[in-house]
Chain A
Amino acid sequence: MSPAPTVGMAIPERQHYCDEVQQMLYNASLWNGHRIHFDMPYATEVEGYPGLVVAGPLMGDWLHQVVDEWLGDAGMITGIEYSNRIAAYVGETVTAGGTVTAYDEATGEVALEVFVKNERDEVLTPGVITATLTSAS
């Protein structure tokens, strides 16, 4: 992590392209057989989605990653609260990012408002992450 956190500071964003192979490997790694993630006729004709749905917890993972990369070895995520509000679909590129909302220098505790948004700037997955900075620098 480079500069010390200040309230209102935006952390570096990261884009993720939602690719079929990655979806398959992710859901297989969980043992998640839900057809909306890999069966196009089922997802569109039976469930009425515009495409293959990106797994909700994968976007939750991207919330963690954008903060975890910013922290590097200087700290550790201690908690998260998030919800999947709007779906993302295979073929879309989504962006994860966040803003520091609180920082306590004495304890090293930092809070960030985080998001995954789509190309239309809709927030798909809003959340709040707390972390503790461990390295005194």
Chain B
Amino acid sequence: MLEADNLECTRGEQRLFQGLEFRLGAGELLFLKGENGAGKTSLLRMICGLLPPGAGEIRWQGENIHHLAGDYRAAFCYLGHANAIKEELTPLENLRCAAALAGTSLPESLAFDALAQVGLADRADLACRYLSQGQKRRVALARLVCDNRALWVLDEPFVALDARAVAWLRDLIGAHVAAGGLTVMTTHQPVDMPSVQTRELRLAA
């Protein structure tokens, strides 16, 4: 259960939002909507604890996330604008590094399966600098395949993906939520998720 109360965000001199609140239970998906600059990414970074809120608090299972610290960070997976993949490493190494960073270990066979799912089986051993933008994005998204943490925080996950990858990702997020996971995401593309409980939060610019 993720809750936010009375959140306020100020970037520079500009107040992006205030008095914002939401509740998100297990098996629910939260769409953040809003124009460019409305504070969607800032809100996601607040949910991750990267950006301290100007006022208010965010609670995970009833406790303030800043008190939970490492316990909370072990419960969610964040995918930001940046792919967090290393150009010098191969997709396989990138996936295993990301898993190690998250405090788990990923056997090579599972990492390979994840890459096969995103359609990069034949590129698994090619340095990421030779991949296209969309392929790099897919390497980053492959992290989600082998991720069993409860909360996914996704910032524009559909950017740079082709139609087939968009459908695949939609199904992956759908399956995660259907299995009792939580997802908070932003997207500018119209994506319908008929099978899952969806909430919407609109940030006014």
Partners in one complex: no
Chain B residues engaging chain A, CB cutoff 8 angstroms: none
